[in-house]
Amino acid sequence: MEDRFALLIDADNVSAKYIKPILDELSKYGNVTYKRIYGDWTKTNNASWKEELLQNSITPIQQFSYTTGKNATDSAMIIDAMDMLYTSELEGFCLVSSDSDFTKLASRLRESGKTVIGMGEDKTPSPFRKACDIFTVLELLLEDNTDKDEKEEKGTPHQHHGKERKKDTAASKEQIEEAVVKIITENQNNDRETGLGEVGSRLVKLYPDFDVRRYGYSLLSKFLETLPKLKLIQEGTKVSVTLYEDKSRQEMVEEYILRQIQANGRYGISLGSLGNRIRARFGNFKVRDYGFSQFKQYIQSFPNVQIVEDGERTRAVYMSDE
């Protein structure tokens, strides 16, 4: 049976354009049994919500602004959440707001053993983000939803190109890498492997607003593969994460190059693409550091690797001994 969630939206601090991405994202976690939105519906600035409420069966809760400068919407939403906590069989709550006033509510719900998913714009203060089990930035959801719509229209695969968002307050890739290294090291000290799923769940606990889409990737595995100290190993459907740390940089580079060539099968990979991948992963890669004046010569030095001239493209192909 799916977990049951209550979706509570602060209309004063969230735009109607986010509703489809919000519902799509929340569907990953369970069944939404309550859908309520709070605001003063006599105000013209909430008019954009009307059609969305009808289309998505969201119940509007009217809350007049009794006093200028006071947010009555917050109080109504908090009271309803506490009523649901004690009278409804819910596993979690999704609080949608860019306001830090819901920080205490999120903490209280978690103290009662409920999962709290927060959603808000990039401007959402850090205390509210950290009070949630998971926090998702709405701009990321909107971008991801737009990408999917474009993919469906064009009939082309959805791809991210590793471009990081500008002016982002997320943890840096270096911080994420060090956190994963610590997780793996702790497990190694206890003779345990580190699964990809464990890495994902522990990163969210450390950084509730962690989301690979912030860094331009759609999959956690693709993101982790760009971190030089980490190595992913797949055995059937099982994917584990381990360290490159005990190897020299040259060994790391050469092992990575061989994997890239082998992964492309009989056709191989163009030297241009291979060079771009190496530089993307290892940054300041220079073939002269390995005793060669040309990249082509360097790749030719690998055992079982053959260089194939193919018109304007030059490919590296792995030739097995069999």
CATH (domain of 305): 3.30.420
DSSP classification of residue 167: T
Are both 64 and 119 inside the same structural domain?
Answer: yes
Model pLDDT for residues 34-70, shown as the tens digit of each residue: 999 998 888 777 777 888 888 888 999 887 765 544 4
Are both 232 and 126 inside the same structural domain?
Answer: no
Are both 191 and 135 inside the same structural domain?
Answer: no
Query: What was the pLDDT predicted at 159?
Result: 46
Examine residue 154 and state whether it is found in any structural domain, yes or no. Answer: no
Q: Strand, coil or helix: what is 107?
A: helix
Are both 138 and 13 inside the same structural domain?
Answer: yes
DSSP string across 182-204: HHHHHHHHTT---BHHHHHHHHH
DSSP classification of residue 46: G
Look at the chain and report how many structural domains it folds into: 3
- The one-letter amino acid at 199: V
H helices present in 132-243, as ranges = 138-154, 173-189, 196-206, 220-224
Query: What was the pLDDT predicted at 56?
Result: 87
Are both 81 and 99 inside the same structural domain?
Answer: yes
Boundary residue ending a domain (89, 118, 145): 145
State which residues form the domain around 130.
Answer: 4-145
Are both 36 and 166 inside the same structural domain?
Answer: no
Are both 89 and 49 inside the same structural domain?
Answer: yes
Model pLDDT for residues 80-94, shown as the tens digit of each residue: 999 999 998 899 999
Examine residue 47 and state whether it is found in any structural domain, yes or no. Answer: yes
pTM: 0.60
Examine residue 274 and state whether it is found in any structural domain, yes or no. Answer: yes
Q: Looking at residues 97-125, what average pLDDT do you find?
A: 93
Boundary residue ending a domain (192, 226, 243): 243
The most confident of 44-53, 122-131, 235-244, by mean pLDDT: 122-131
Q: What angle do CA 72, 78, 80 make, to 5 degrees?
A: 105
Give every CB contact of residue 83 below 8 A, 6+ residues apart in sequence. none
Model pLDDT for residues 137-184, shown as the tens digit of each residue: 999 888 766 555 444 444 444 444 444 444 456 788 888 998 998 898
Query: What was the pLDDT predicted at 66?
Result: 57
For residue 255, name the pLDDT band (cuts at 50, 70, 90): confident
Examine residue 117 and state whether it is found in any structural domain, yes or no. Answer: yes
Are both 137 and 209 inside the same structural domain?
Answer: no
Are both 238 and 255 inside the same structural domain?
Answer: no
Is 131 in contact with 106 (CB distance < 8 Å)? yes
Are both 8 and 134 inside the same structural domain?
Answer: yes
Are both 136 and 25 inside the same structural domain?
Answer: yes
DSSP classification of residue 208: T
Examine residue 10 and state whether it is found in any structural domain, yes or no. Answer: yes
CATH (domain of 191): 3.30.420.610
Direct distance between the N- and C-terminal alpha carbons of the chain, in angstroms, rounded to an integer: 50
CATH (domain of 40): 3.40.50.1010
